[in-house]
Amino acid sequence: MSRDDAIATAQAYFDAGGFEADLARLVAIPSESQTPQGLPHCRRYLDEAMAPAFAALGFETRIFENPVPGCGPVLLATRIEDPARPTVLGYGHGDVVRGMEDRWTRGAGPWRTAREGDRLYGRGTADNKSQHWINLKALEATAAARGGRLGFNVKWIVETGEENGSKGLGEVIASDPEAFRADVFIASDGPRTTAARPTVSLGARGGLNFDLVCRLREGAHHSGNWGGALADPAAILSHAIACIVSPTGRIEVEAWRPEPPSNLVRALLADVEIEPGPDGPRPDPDWGEPGFSPAENVYAWNSFAVLAMLAGAPESPVNAIQPEARAHCQLRYIAGTDTDDILPGLRRHLDAHGFAAVAVEQAPEENRGGFEASRTDPDHPWAIFVRRSLERTAGAAPAVIPQMGGSICNELFTDLLGLPAIWIPHSYTACSQHAPDEHVLLLLCREALGLMAGLWWDLGEEGPPTADG
């Protein structure tokens, strides 16, 4: 059989209704990792869904207990055909964010899939159950087209704690690094840049959350008696934030300004657009680093955001000068940013601008972030190999971004295991992940099955890429 047969087999599975039925079964397992009642279902997802699926393809499976209390287990599936052939490390996360049952306005709620046109609704449809299932079923189709063999080896991680920051996954890998050793990491998560264009992401931005606090005194005081005599912490904090980022979004903290993107990165991003979808916002063209496109600001630069801000009680304000104001902030940062200097650099910047009264405090651990920035070079042979394979199947070049705008545990694969890491997302930006009404686009999923079957076929046919690409 041929490459075209592998692609046709994967897409025939979709056309016969197999993908929609299987995804409904996966979504029905309420594997919330952020609630105590969800943890047993995280185990169920591995025991009842993933381990049997891998075993049916000839994988040996092993479940690692998470060393971090209250965090879900990790499955490792292994299929070694020939130690002399390359080994791919795959990944998916079976956990989901909270279902938010009472807030869904479309579909049938979080735990039952429902189709409306090209959209299939349900918690985990986009993040991440459909994505790792697509890659697995494409692997199955490729093996079927090659008479039961792939032509390469596969190891596959399915964790159940990504939505909690992948706590414990690094320790699991470090406990038996040989079990996870591979030649390349290929997985899927996050959105494409546009729904119609396949995308290759070569890393992820890191994220650090922190609090800015202006605490001036104990207790509030009547604004009629004291207004004009007492400093207002909310006003001071607002001015402090204004010195961090310009009115047009330029980051002013010198320690937060990385090296500008290379000519190669800028060339790759020159034709990349951020698609909002029918319900999403349009990028603001004049926000961010001057001279950068929205794609460069998201995929190749750092960004600062005020996630929440509070002084007094907004729901029932009183006529009083408040004693304290607090802002919960975030820096999304690319690889190459000096992470040890993020908060010290901010402290120096605030002091230099006269805001010694504004404290920089670490956010509570559960909301601090936890992923580091990491990426693979765009001209790495494996990156070129994957890009060429997707282009062969799609008939057009995929979008290539140096790192996704969000954060994920990419550094475990690039830094801990030393692998080139390549992500091929199968969702789109308006999928409502982490919100009510999460969904996938079914035609995108069908295309993704073909793209991945073609990639797996090429890997078994051509073998690992050479240094010259």
pLDDT per residue, tens digit, the chain (469 aa), is 899 999 999 999 999 999 999 999 999 999 999 999 999 999 999 999 999 999 999 999 999 999 999 999 999 999 999 999 999 999 999 999 999 999 999 999 999 999 999 999 999 999 999 999 999 999 999 999 999 999 999 999 999 999 999 999 999 999 999 999 999 999 999 999 999 999 999 999 999 999 999 999 999 999 999 999 999 999 999 999 999 999 999 999 999 999 999 999 999 999 998 887 777 788 998 999 999 999 999 999 999 999 999 999 999 999 999 999 999 999 999 999 999 999 999 999 999 999 999 999 988 776 666 689 999 999 999 999 999 999 999 999 999 999 999 889 999 999 999 999 999 999 999 999 999 999 999 999 999 999 999 999 999 998 777 655 5
Cα gap 106→142, rounded to integer Å = 35
Structure tokens at 316: 């029932």
Q: How many domains does the chain have?
A: 2
Query: Does 106 lie in the same domain as 255?
Result: no
Helix (H, G, I), strand (E, B) or coil at 196: coil
Helix (H, G, I), strand (E, B) or coil at 362: strand
Whether 280 is in a domain gets the answer no
Query: Does 131 lie in the same domain as 24?
Result: yes
Distance of CA 18 to the CA centre of its chain: 27
Quote the Cα angle for 18-24-29, to 5°.
135
Helix (H, G, I), strand (E, B) or coil at 453: helix
Instruction: Give Cβ neighbours of residue 339 (< 8 Å, ≥ 6 apart).
Output: 206, 208, 333, 372, 373
Whether 110 is in a domain gets the answer yes
Query: Does 81 lie in the same domain as 69?
Result: yes
Q: How far apart are the first and last CA of the chain?
A: 26
Helix (H) or strand (E) holding 368: none
Whether 7 is in a domain gets the answer yes
pLDDT for 466: 67
Boundary of a domain, candidates 336, 367, 398: 367
Residue closest to 461 by CA, chosen among 80, 1, 135, 91: 1
pLDDT for 331: 96
pLDDT for 367: 66
Range of the domain at 458: 3-204+373-462
Boundary of a domain, candidates 344, 367, 390: 367
CB-CB contact of 144 with 50 (8 Å): no
Query: Does 398 lie in the same domain as 303?
Result: no
Cα gap 432→103, rounded to integer Å = 12
Quote the DSSP letter at residue 124.
Answer: T
Query: Does 390 lie in the same domain as 361?
Result: no
Where does residue 147 rank: exposed (0-12), middle (13-18), buried (19+ CB within 10 A)? exposed
Q: Residue 202 corresponds to which amino acid?
A: L
Whether 281 is in a domain gets the answer no
Whether 467 is in a domain gets the answer no
Query: Does 190 lie in the same domain as 256?
Result: no
Query: Does 176 lie in the same domain as 39?
Result: yes
Phi, psi of 315 (to 5 degrees): -70, -20
Residue closest to 112 by CA, chosen among 121, 99, 101, 102: 121
Residue closest to 127 by CA, chosen among 139, 110, 103, 109: 110
SS (H, E, C) 230-246: ECCHHHHHHHHHHHHEC
Boundary of a domain, candidates 367, 394, 419: 367
pLDDT for 50: 98
CB-CB contact of 77 with 155 (8 Å): yes
Cα gap 93→25, rounded to integer Å = 16
Query: Does 421 lie in the same domain as 447?
Result: yes
What CATH number is attached to the domain comprising 251?
3.30.70.360
Query: Does 318 lie in the same domain as 188?
Result: no
Where does residue 24 rank: exposed (0-12), middle (13-18), buried (19+ CB within 10 A)? middle
Residue closest to 411 by CA, chosen among 192, 174, 227: 174
Query: Does 193 lie in the same domain as 215?
Result: no
Quote the Cα angle for 88-180-405, to 5°.
65
Instruction: Give Cβ neighbours of residue 312 (< 8 Å, ≥ 6 apart).
Output: 220, 234, 318, 320, 322
* Paired strand residues for 331: 208, 304
Whether 355 is in a domain gets the answer yes
Handedness of CA 269, 93, 167, 30 (dihedral sign): positive
Residue closest to 158 by CA, chosen among 138, 188, 181: 188
Query: Does 387 lie in the same domain as 339?
Result: no
Whether 279 is in a domain gets the answer no
Whether 277 is in a domain gets the answer no
pLDDT for 363: 81
Query: Does 149 lie in the same domain as 133?
Result: yes
pLDDT for 364: 78
Number of C-alpha atoms within 13 angstroms, CB side, residue 462?
A: 16
What CATH number is attached to the domain comprising 128?
3.40.630.10
